[in-house]
Amino acid sequence: MPLSPRLLVADQVAGSLRVLDLPHGRVVGVVEGRHLAEHAGFLALPGGRTAFVDDLAGELVVLDPYGPDAGRPMVAATVPVATPAEHIAADPAGRHLVVTTGLGRSWEAWSDLLTAVDLGAPGGPKAVRVRTRRGEPGVTVLGGGPPLVVLRHREPGSLTAYRHADLMGAAPACPPASPAYEAPLPDDDGHGDAHDPVTGRLFAAAGSGVHRARRDGDRLVREEPLPWAGPGRGYYLRLDPARRVLWSCVRGGPADPGRWPEWTNDAWFHALDEGRTGRVPLGPGLVFRLAVAAHHVAYSRVHPDGDELVLLDRESARVVARHPLPPMDGAPKPGGTPWDGVQRRAVAASPGSPLIAVSRGGHGEVHLFDGTEPATTLEVPTPLDDGGHLAVIAPDDGAEGDPVGR
């Protein structure tokens, strides 16, 4: 019998993770005592495995959601890493990983620790911590030779490259790491990273556009940035590895976060092979992360007048469905920020499945859609405060072709 898709439901506040068989929601695995680093998210690895960082334990955890079906453990590996985890990425082979650190519950940047991981090291997974510079760096790990780690820094903006092997060979006690190459970025507001393993290009979102670079040995060759094709900017980038399209959401409107219901939102896309760029209006309010399914790209939109799931056709890049979502107790309100002390929604999908999942923060519910049609509502025993975090996995879906945590 072929394996069905599975849904990972993480409640980072309650400290639990459940694996559900889809579409019926049968629980096939529970991992308790794990507090997922929500900003770093889940990272797809080859073989249907998934990695995440436990922010409380200070560990990288590799899950094998289909492992118990073949007599393997659900938790395939763990290795110590520095936290609070900001971003996580892997090389195209899924062996060499990097975890950056961010603010956590601090209001100012304080950690300069970077963790390099080798999941295939002799004797088992190995991790080494080094120092770079304080901030909230994004990260990609380029192939095309010995893995090259590229940090996207801001304030001041730069792309800084390190040989992964050099990081793994660092001495104990977190020494400063010496970059192999560094180049300035024209913006100090970078936020959002992607990596296309097919061409080796990396992409970094900033106010002036999506900056591009490709590897040349241990150096980076800069290319012309991609425009946002109108006012506003995107704060998130995601690669559709099957259609080879970059996706983001461009936000416009007032800078005051208390006026978030007035923000404008456009789905932004760039077809990597065709060079075609476009935007599609989504509606006002808070739209941030997105998910790529077999036939659609999904965005959740939060607004005082009602939340909704917005679905775009992956081929035509046009809106084909808008589904109202049940309101959340503790939802963001006008006049306050839409991310501090309020409930949120997580959205997830797999490029190998038509299923799309969106959470109802504070209610312990996940709404499941099959293509453009509502399928069912799944319930978990924890509230999913802050929206929780979700991942949909399908056998051989190629999700590891997007080697940046989401």
Residue boundaries of the structural domains of the chain: 6-401
In order of 50, 138, 188, 234, 326, the CA distances from 184 in angstroms are: 33, 15, 10, 20, 45
End-to-end distance of the chain based on CA atoms, in angstroms? 30
- Given a contact cutoff of 8 angstroms between Cβ atoms, the answer to whether 364 and 58 are in contact is no
Averages of pLDDT over runs of 10 residues in the chain (406 residues) are 92 98 97 97 97 98 96 97 98 98 93 98 98 96 97 96 98 97 95 97 97 96 96 96 97 97 98 96 96 98 98 96 98 95 97 98 98 98 98 97 98
Give dist(CA 37, CA 120) in Å, integer: 23
In single-letter form, the type of residue at position 224 comes to E
Max Cα-Cα span within the chain? 56
> Full-prediction pTM beyond 0.85?
yes
Residues in the chain: 406
Using only C-alpha atoms, the chain has a radius of gyration, in whole angstroms, of 20
pLDDT of amino acid 2: 80
Q: Write down the CATH number for the domain with range 6-401.
A: 2.130.10.10
pLDDT of amino acid 302: 98
In order of 37, 95, 221, 251, 382, the CA distances from 87 in angstroms are: 9, 16, 23, 21, 25
pLDDT of amino acid 23: 97
Give dist(CA 362, CA 63) in Å, integer: 25
Give dist(CA 344, CA 363) in Å, integer: 11
